[in-house]
Amino acid sequence: MHYAQFARNKAHIFCLDGIELLCLIDMRMDACKYLISHGKWSDAIWLAKTSLNQQERTLVIKRWAEQLLNTNRMV
């Protein structure tokens, strides 16, 4: 395994650990923001749909829609 691949895998593990910790301490919106900041939109949407209240969920989904429009991407 090359060092760059090892570093990416290690960073991914730390990212997941951080998400789990945020969820455990009831900071799921912050976990979604963290995922979004790392480009993990599908994970952020899944977390929002399964664990946030309607108002917070709507904010995450609107932000995703804006991202899709700004990047001209279709789902």
How do residues 19-44 score in pLDDT, each as one tens digit? 888 988 999 999 999 999 988 999 99
Cα 3 to Cα 7, 8, 11, 17: the distances in Å are: 6, 9, 12, 21
**Quick check: is 45 in a domain?**
yes
Token pair recorded at residue 68:
């899709």
The whole-number pLDDT of residue 15 equals 60
**Quick check: is 65 in a domain?**
yes
Number of domains the chain is built from: 1
Domain with 49, as residue range(s), is 3-70
**Quick check: is 75 in a domain?**
no
Cα atoms found within 13 Å of the Cα of residue 69, Cβ hemisphere only = 6
**Which whole number is the average pLDDT over 7-27?**
70
**Quick check: is 66 in a domain?**
yes
User: In the predicted model, what is the mean pLDDT of the chain?
Assistant: 82
| pLDDT bucket at 18, cuts 50 / 70 / 90 | confident
